[in-house]
Amino acid sequence: MNELADSMDVLADPDAWIQAAAVGGGYAGSAILDSLIVGMAPGPDAVAGVASGAAVGAGGYVYGGEYSEAMTTGGLLFAVGSVAEHFGFKQQIFELGQGGGN
């Protein structure tokens, strides 16, 4: 029962929510940058996704202060998601969740 109480303490910790918001900010920043790149540059969307995720990840690492790791994580998660979408892995996961795509 102590484990449950400890896990609830983490959910009530404001620092955990701030870290999660920083990860979300890195992800959202990558999505915004990606939409700007896709609208202006030719080439596959996955390349723009990786470039924007890497750019936000690097920027977050350099300028993120105490949240640099969280912002970098958000940016790189966007890059990984773009690659997964390009190779169809993301669609396969969705189909598995729907019972094989039937």
In a domain, 25, yes or no: yes
Q: Region 51-60: what's the mean pLDDT?
A: 94
**102 located within any domain:** no
Per-residue pLDDT tens over the stretch 16-54:
899 999 999 999 999 999 999 988 888 888 899 999 999
Count structural domains, the chain: 1
Q: What's the pLDDT score for residue 102?
A: 54
Domain membership flag for residue 55: yes
In a domain, 70, yes or no: yes
Secondary structure in 3-state letters for 19-53: HHHHHHHHHHHHHHHHHHHHHHCCCCHHHHHHHHH
Domain span at 41: 2-97
Element (H, E) at 97: helix 89-97
